[in-house]
Amino acid sequence: MLALSCACTTADSKTGPDPVKKDVEYCSLAQTHLQQMCSADPIKNKLCCDMVRPTPKQRSFEQVCRTVQEGGIYVNPQCISTVQTCEQVDTICMQNNATDDGGSR
């Protein structure tokens, strides 16, 4: 499940969101990193565990990440793949979304 609380970047609503191709290759690495942090301490790292839990339709974090990126919403998978704590997903990666353009358009 991908739970994001961010000011995500999208394109002009008249034309719809542009595909975000930047960092899509990091979705798999981000998933692996989140799973590792979840396994290390499921209680302390509940946010990571929640993010890598399959969706009700059994879609993985990687699949959801790619889908939303390509749908025009930048989720910053490169940042997620490098954070040191689960809390940094919200405090660093999602904060960067407010100023990042989400890729070349």
What b-and-e string marks burial along 74-101, b requiring 16 or more CB atoms within 10 Å of the CB? bbbbbbbbebeebebbeebbbeebeebe
Per-residue pLDDT tens digits for 70-82: 888 889 999 999 9
For the four alpha carbons of 9, 96, 102 and 89, in that order, the dihedral sign comes to: negative
Q: 3-class DSSP state for residue 84? A: coil
What is the pLDDT confidence band of residue 17, given thresholds at 50, 70 and 90?
low
Task: Find, among 65, 89, 74, the residue nearest to 10 by Cα.
Answer: 74
pTM above 0.85? no
Is the model's pLDDT at 7 over the cut of 50? Answer: no
Alpha helices of 1-105 — where are they, by DSSP H? 27-40, 46-52, 61-70, 77-80, 87-88, 94-97
Per-residue pLDDT tens digits for 44-70: 999 999 999 999 999 999 999 999 988
What pLDDT sits at residue 94?
84
